[in-house]
Amino acid sequence: MDHLTHEAIDSRLLGILKETDDLFQSGQLKYPPALTDLNTPLLYNDNKQFTHLTKSATNNVVNTDVFPCNLCKYGIEPIKSANGNGHFFSNPINTSASNYGCVNSLLSHNDNQLYKVNEKTKLYEAKQFEHKQFNSLPFNQRENFKHLEQIKQLDSYPLNNTALTKCLAKDLSIVSNWEESQKEVFYNFADKLKQEYHRLQHQLYTQYKLDLEKNIKVLRSQYSNTIDGLQQELINLKTYQQTFSTREAEYEEKLFRYESDICIAKQEIENLYKELQTKREQIMVLSKQMCDYENAISELKYGKSTLEEIVAERDKQLEAIESELSSSINKSELEHRKNSTLNQSLLETNAIISATKNELALSKREIDKLNSEVERLNGIVKILRETESNLNQRLSESAASNTSLVSKLDNLNLEKSALYNRIEEITSGYEKQLSICNRRINQLEIEMESKVG
């Protein structure tokens, strides 16, 4: 974070320098003499405006649009030049016209030389200032500095008072033919001009320095405000990034859960479709079974009706059998009564036999007499026994037929009750299955409608 901040500060300082240079080049800020072109000297007037000096190609006289009129207080009066747009300096002691051109050319030439030296001085100071700025820059940004090659050559740039003296003394050989009073006036004028020029130069430089410091303070305040705003915006962006990252993580988690839920729902839907298909197949099977059951129920109903008819016929047969049974019972009772009378007669005969045996024992005589009668009685007894056996046989047959008829009746009643019970069980079971099937079909239809909806 600190490294990035220093880099941002360095880049912003370079931007400030570039913006300042652009402001000077656009004319919104005034350059001091140290930052102007050395080949075109400037003068400073009372209105604090810079004017360029130009030399005429014909008479080699320096012409100016605006000349420093405050030099008149040093005893030098301005006069108009031949073209009327320039100022020449006249000598108040010797006002001869022959010396005007020489004095003016010498003054303008010396002024030009002084101005060039002053320009070099200011340029050297400006480059020293840029050299300090270059040394204050980080190492990774020194290669991008605007005046790097010029700053590297500053150490070999000579400028001092001896250089200024040599520069001024080169073109002063013309003064050797003057008189001492003229030389004194010229030298006094040159000193005063030099002092005034240095004063104006110092004033301009201090004013430029104050303006530059003020602009730098404003730019620094703006830069600090922008840095604070950028830092606050960076903090806000970091908090927004953190919240966005957390929200993005939450959204990704929710998206993952939604995708898993969607996959599960798709799988459940597929399972439900499969189950629906199986249920449809089951419904088709159940519908077939229900049709079979309905057919079976109809058949059972038809069988029930036939069985009811058979049962009615059996009831009629049972009523006939019961009537026959009652008649046979009556007959058996009559035969039993007859049998009882026969048994009674048999007992009486046995008593008679015993009496006859006693009589035979008492009187053997009467046996022979009674043999025929005994044989006859034996025949009668045989006949009676045969009749008794026949009666017993008929009684047993009637009893057997009665028991068989009773058993048949009981069996028929049992079969009837069993058939009724079976028919009721089958019908109740079919009705239960039919109700279960209807319930299941309704439930499946409700589930299908809920799933489809």
Phi, psi dihedral angles at 60 (to 5 degrees): 60, 40
Sign, CA dihedral 335-337-342-346, equals positive
Residue 242 has pLDDT above 80, yes or no: yes
Q: At what angle do helices 180-362 and 365-452 cross, to 10 degrees?
A: 170
Q: What does pTM read for this prediction?
A: 0.23
pLDDT, tens only, 64-74: 333 333 333 33
Residue 300 pLDDT: 66
203, pLDDT greater than 80 = yes
Residue 306 binned pLDDT confidence (cut-offs 50, 70, 90): confident
H or E element, residue 89:
strand 87-90
pLDDT of amino acid 80: 36
- For residue 77, what is the enclosing H or E element? strand 77-80
Longest distance between any two alpha carbons in the chain, whole Å: 244
- 172-178 mean pLDDT: 59
Write down the pLDDT at residue 349. Answer: 64
What gap in Å lies between CA 362 and CA 351, rounded to an integer? 16
- Residue 353: its pLDDT value, please? 62
Residue type, 18: K
Average pLDDT, the chain: 63
pLDDT computed for residue 451 by the predictor: 63
pLDDT-wise least confident of 160-164, 379-383, 402-406: 160-164
Whether the pLDDT of residue 438 is over 80: the answer is no
Cα separation of 221 and 257, whole Å? 52
3-state secondary structure of 88: strand
Statement: residue 96 has pLDDT above 50: no
Q: Which pLDDT value is given to residue 132?
A: 62
DSSP letter for 364, please.
S
pLDDT bracket for residue 160 (50, 70, 90): very low
Q: Which two tokens stand for residue 225?
A: 């405000």
| Cα 428 to Cα 300, 331, 415, 424, distances in angstroms | 12, 47, 19, 6
User: Which range among 115-124, 199-208, 300-309 shows the weakest confidence by mean pLDDT?
Assistant: 115-124
Q: 63 or 213, which is more confident? A: 213
For the beta carbon of residue 123, count every other beta carbon within 10 angstroms.
19
Confidence category of residue 101, pLDDT binned at 50, 70, 90: very low
Is 426 within 8 Å of 300 (Cβ atoms)?
yes
Confirm if 105 and 61 have CB atoms less than 8 A apart: yes
pLDDT higher than 60, residue 280 = yes
Per-residue pLDDT at 386: 73
In terms of average pLDDT, the best of 163-167, 368-372, 377-381, 421-425 is: 421-425
Please report which confidence band the pLDDT of residue 22 belongs to, taking 50, 70 and 90 as the band edges.
Answer: low
Question: Given this model, what pLDDT does residue 213 score?
Answer: 85
Region 10-26: mean pLDDT is 59
C-alpha count within 13 angstroms, C-beta hemisphere, residue 229: 6
HSE-CB at 292 with a 13 A cutoff on CA atoms is 7
Structure token digits, residue 120: 């070099």
